[in-house]
Amino acid sequence: MGYTTAIIAVAAILIGSLWAFGMQRDTNDADDELNQYHFKTISRDASLTGLNLTVRKLVEDTNWVAHAPVGTPDPLALGDRVPLDFYGYNATPHKAASFDVNVWLEGNGKNPPCGRSDQVLVLSNGATAPAGHATYARYEKEYDCDALPPATKKAIVVEEKLTLHGSIIIEPSDDLGNADIHSNETIAITGKNVRVYGMATYANDSGVPKPITKATENHIGTTIQPNADVNGPEPNLHEHPHIDIPVLDPELYRPGATLISGDTTLTGGVIDFEVLAPGYGTEENPFVWFVDGDLDITGNTQFIGYGLFVIVGETTISGDIQADLSPEGTLNLGFYSAGALTVSGNVDVMGLLYSNTDILLNGNVTVTGGLMSAGGINTQNGNPHIIYTQVSKSSWLPGATVTLLEGIRMIAYSEW
- Reading the chain (416 residues) residue by residue, the pLDDT tens digits are 555 555 555 445 545 554 454 545 555 555 566 567 888 899 999 999 999 999 999 988 888 888 889 888 877 888 889 999 878 899 999 988 999 999 999 887 666 666 566 789 999 999 987 889 999 999 988 888 889 999 999 999 999 999 988 889 999 998 789 999 999 999 999 878 899 999 999 999 999 888 998 889 888 888 999 998 877 777 899 999 999 999 999 999 999 999 999 999 999 999 999 999 999 999 999 999 999 999 999 999 999 999 999 999 999 999 999 999 999 999 999 999 999 999 999 999 999 999 999 999 999 999 999 999 999 999 878 899 999 999 999 999 998 998 888 888 899 999 99
Tell whether 123 and 244 lie within a shared domain. Answer: no
CB 278 within 8 A of CB 309: no
Looking at the domain assignment, is residue 355 inside a domain? Answer: yes
Tell whether 95 and 83 lie within a shared domain. Answer: yes
Q: In whole angstroms, give the CA distance from residue 296 to residue 274.
A: 22
- What pLDDT score was predicted for residue 29? 53
3-class DSSP assignment, residue 56: helix
- Answer yes or no: pTM beyond 0.75: yes
Looking at the domain assignment, is residue 36 inside a domain? Answer: no
- What pLDDT score was predicted for residue 390? 95
3-class DSSP assignment, residue 336: strand
HSE value, Cβ hemisphere, 13 Å, CA-based, for 148:
13
Tell whether 328 and 220 lie within a shared domain. Answer: yes
Tell whether 119 and 173 lie within a shared domain. Answer: no
- φ, ψ at 115 (rounded to 5°): -85, 180
Q: In whole angstroms, give the CA distance from residue 101 to residue 58.
A: 13
Q: What is the DSSP string of 337-390?
A: ESS-EEEESS-EEEEEEEESSEEEEEBS-EEEEEEEESSEEE-TTB--EEEE-P
- What pLDDT score was predicted for residue 18? 44
- What pLDDT score was predicted for residue 63? 86
Beta strands 169-172 and 195-196: pairing type? parallel
Tell whether 380 and 322 lie within a shared domain. Answer: yes
Looking at the domain assignment, is residue 234 inside a domain? Answer: yes
Looking at the domain assignment, is residue 214 inside a domain? Answer: yes
ω into 255 cis (within 30 of 0) = no
Greatest distance between any 2 Cα atoms in the chain: 131
Range of the domain at 287: 150-402
Tell whether 137 and 257 lie within a shared domain. Answer: no
- What pLDDT score was predicted for residue 3? 57
Nearest to 123 by CA among 135, 138, 105: 135
Looking at the domain assignment, is residue 117 inside a domain? Answer: yes
Looking at the domain assignment, is residue 1 inside a domain? Answer: no
ω into 384 cis (within 30 of 0) = no
Tell whether 342 and 269 lie within a shared domain. Answer: yes
Tell whether 167 and 140 lie within a shared domain. Answer: no
Region of 110 on the Ramachandran plot (φ > 0 left; ψ -120 to 50 alpha; else beta): beta
What domain count does the chain have? 2
Looking at the domain assignment, is residue 192 inside a domain? Answer: yes
pLDDT tens digits for range 37-75: 888 899 999 999 999 999 999 988 888 888 889 888 877
Q: In sequence order, which residues have a C-beta less than 8 Å from that of residue 9 and are 6 or more positions away?
A: none
Looking at the domain assignment, is residue 31 inside a domain? Answer: no
CB 359 within 8 A of CB 373: yes
